[in-house]
Amino acid sequence: AVRGGRVLGDWPGLGEGALYQDRDLMPTRDVRAYAGWALRGLFGVAPGVIEDRIFPGLALGPDPGLLR
């Protein structure tokens, strides 16, 4: 299950100039990392495989605790 109720990454705000294309919340971290940590937690995929083969060039960084 997803552990919700919190913001992951930095909060850019909703003010003018803080939104992506003036309409969407601006990602402050590579969103592929969250998908990578979900793959790790749900299927046990090794971090090296995620970084090298699934999402080449991705640096997962520390586990954000996305899943319970």
- Percent of the chain's residues with pLDDT above 90: 51
- Strands of the chain, DSSP E: 19-20, 24-25
Q: In this predicted model, what pLDDT tens digit does every residue of 31-47 receive, in sequence order?
A: 999 999 999 999 999 99
Q: What are the distances in angstroms from CA 49 to CA 15, 22, 27, 30?
A: 38, 35, 24, 17
Q: What's the mean per-residue pLDDT of the chain?
A: 90
pLDDT at 53: 98
